[in-house]
Structure 1
Amino acid sequence: MSQHFKVKSCCLPDRCYALAVRYPLMVVGTADRNLTVFNLLKPQTESMTIKSPLEHQTRCVAAFPDKKGFVIGLIEGKFAIQHFDFLQENFSLECHRDGNEIYSVNSVNFHPAMSRCNQPIPCSAFNKDGSMFAYSVCYDWSRGADNHDPKTAETRIFIHLPEQGDDKGLGKRKGRAREREPGRNRSRRQ
C-alpha cells in the first residue's frame, strides 16, 4: 500500500543535483560539491557527508551494488569512485573527451547481471582484425606474495566476440568486454 504523505524530510546544505538509492543506502550530490549519505533504515540522521574529491559540479551518482560505496560523474568529463571503507583506495578518471572538447558524465549505472571483477585484469588484446578481444583475470602480484591466496586467485582467460553496437557512444574505442553475458564469452583455465 502506498503512502500519500512524506515519511521524512531533511535540509540539505545546497540544491540537490544528483540522487541515488540502493536500499537502504541513499546518496545525494548537492551544488556545493558535498555528497550526503543516508541510511534509510534510520532516516532521521545523515550517516556522513563527504566533500567531492573533484573540483567541479556533480552531475550524477550511483551506489555500488554491494552498497560499499558509490561512483559520481561530473560536468568536467570525469568520474570518481568513492568507498565507504577508508582503507579502500578511491580514485578518479577522465573520460568523455575529444581533444580540447570535454563532455559531462550525465549518467552512471551498474548492470544488474555483471558483477565487479574480483581480480586484476593484467593484460588484454584484440586480434588483427578486431573481431576477437582476449583478456586475462588473475592475481598480478602488485600486492606481493603475502597477499596471494591460491584458493581464491583463479587464473582465467576470456575471449569476447565484439558485436555491432558494442562501441556505441565510445567514439573510436571498440569492443567492450562483457564478462558475464551468457553465450558471448568463453573462458579457459590456465
Structure 2
Amino acid sequence: MAGLFGTQTASATANNTLGDLSKDVALTAPPEDSISDISFSSQSPHLAVASWDSKVRIYEINGQGGSEGKAMMDFGGPVLSVDWSKDGSKVIAASADKTAKVLDLASGNTSGGTQVAAHEQPIRSVRFCEVQGTPMIVTGSWDKTIKYWDMRAPTATPAASVQMQERVYSMDVKDNLLVVGCADRFINIFSLQNPAAIFKTIQSPLKWQTRVVSCFTDAKGFAVGSIEGRCAIQYVEDDKSNLNFSFKCHRDPPQNNMTNVYSVNTISFHPEHGTFSTAGSDGTFHFWDGVAKHRLKGYPTVGGTISASAFNSNGSIFAYAVSYDWSKGYASNTPQYPNKVMLHPVNGDECKPRPSVKKR
C-alpha cells in the first residue's frame, strides 16, 4: 500500500493540499542549541522545550500566539526527552547525563527539578504513565533497559526494570499502551496492566533504522517513522493486522534515477481527530488521515530540519522545532543554522479526517 499516499500530480489537488505557513509565530527566547523534544500540557497553555543546551524551558502561550518563559530545569548534559503529567502539574525530562528530573510546578518551583531516575547510560526517552492506578514514570535508555519509577515515594531504586534487545531510540505511552522502539528495528509492545512483561515484540515493518514511535489517540496501535523517509501504521491486536500499512514520505521527486530521502523525525497525533503529522529532515511537515490513507495537507519547507513536534491539548496549535537534527554530522551544524520553535494555528479542515470515514 506504499503508493496510496503517492505524490499528487493534478494541479487542483496540489493546490487543495498545500498548507499555509504565513500565520506561524515563533516562540520567544528559544533554546541556545538544538531542540530535541517539545511537549504541551494537556491542562493549560504551557509548552516544555528540551534542548542540547542542557536545559528544559517552560513557556506560557497566550491566545494570540505570544509566549513567555515561566520555568526552567538544568541538567549536566543534553536533554533528550520531555513530558507532562496527566494533571498538568509536573514536567519530567531525561538527559544524556543519565538522569531524569521532575519539576513540580504546582509547588511554585520554577527552577531546578528533583532527580527521580537514573540509568547506566543516557536516558533517551521518558513518559509519565499510570500502572493499575499508580502514578509512575517510565524511562528508556541506551543501556538497553526500560525502568519504572513510583511517583508516590521516589527512591533510587526502580519499581521494575525490563531488559530490551538493544538501545532505546524512541518510546511513547497512551492509556495502557507502551511502545518502545529500539536499535536493530526491534519494537516492544507493553500492556501497562502487566508492565514488567513484554506483551509482543515485532521487527519494524520499515527496513531502516527506527527514528520515532507514536501511539494512536485511542491506544489501539502506533505509528513508526524511519530514517529512510517512510512511515508505518501498526495495530496491536492481530485481528486488525489487515489494517497495517506503510507509505513513503519526506523524499524529493526522483531525478536522473536518484531520489533524496530524509529521516522522519517526529510523528504527532491530533488529540481530537486521530489524524497525525509527520515532520522530518527535509524541513517539511504533513498532516495525514491514516484511516482513509490520504494526505490532508503538505507544507513548504520551513528553512531547516524539523526535529520535534506536538499538538496542544485541543489540537488548535501545532508546534514544530526548526533545529539541526545531526543527520549530516557535526560539520553541518553551523552558527547560521536556524534554531526556533514555531506555533502553527490549525484552521478549518487542516487536520479533520475525510467526512465519510470514521475517526480512529
Change (3 A) 1:77 1:119: closer
> Aligned residue for 2:262?
103
Matches of 2:185 and 2:222 in 1, distance apart? Answer: 15
Deviation per CA, 1:99-118: give whole Å up to 9, x if none.
Answer: 32111000111121223579
> Aligned residue for 2:272?
113
Query: What's the C-alpha RMSD, in Å, of the aligned pairs?
Result: 3.2
Deviation per CA, 1:137-156: give whole Å up to 9, x if none.
Answer: xxxxxxxxxxxxxxxxxxxx
Matches of 2:218 and 2:227 in 1, distance apart? Answer: 26
> Aligned residue for 1:179?
352
TM-score (norm 2): 0.34
CA contact (8 A) 2:270 2:351 kept: no
Q: In structure 2, what residue type is equivalent to 1:98?
A: D
Matches of 1:43 and 1:119 in 2, distance apart? Answer: 29
> Aligned residue for 1:80?
232
Q: Residue 17 of structure 1: CA displacement?
A: 1.1
CA contact (8 A) 2:180 2:189 kept: yes
Q: In structure 2, what residue type is equivalent to 1:177?
A: E
Deviation per CA, 1:67-93: give whole Å up to 9, x if none.
Answer: 111100000010000111323221001
In structure 1, list runs of 5 or more residues that go unmatched: 125-134, 136-161, 181-186
> In proportion to residue count, which structure has more strand?
2
Matches of 1:40 and 1:79 in 2, distance apart? Answer: 25
Change (3 A) 1:51 1:118: closer
Q: Residue 95 of structure 1: CA displacement?
A: 0.4
Matches of 1:6 and 1:167 in 2, distance apart? Answer: 43
Larger relative contact order (Cα-Cα within 8 Å, sequence gap ≥ 6)? 2
> In proportion to residue count, which structure has more helix?
2
> Aligned residue for 1:154?
none
Q: In structure 2, what residue type is equivalent to 1:61?
A: V
Change (3 A) 1:109 1:118: closer
> Aligned residue for 2:193?
41
Change (3 A) 1:168 1:67: same
Matches of 1:121 and 1:78 in 2, distance apart? Answer: 14
CA contact (8 A) 2:188 2:202 kept: yes
Q: Residue 51 of structure 1: CA displacement?
A: 1.2
Q: Of residues 76, 91, 101 in structure 1, which corresponds to 2:245?
A: 91
Between 19-28 and 54-63, the greater mean CA deviation after superposition: 19-28
In structure 2, list runs of 5 or more residues that go unmatched: 1-151, 254-258, 276-288, 304-346, 356-360
Q: Residue 178 of structure 1: CA displacement?
A: 2.8
Matches of 1:39 and 1:167 in 2, distance apart? Answer: 36
> Aligned residue for 1:3?
154
> Aligned residue for 2:210?
58
> Aligned residue for 1:138?
none
Change (3 A) 1:55 1:115: closer
Q: Structure 1 segments of 4 or more deviating over 6 A?
A: none
Query: Could you say what secondary structure the match of 2:268 adopts?
Result: coil
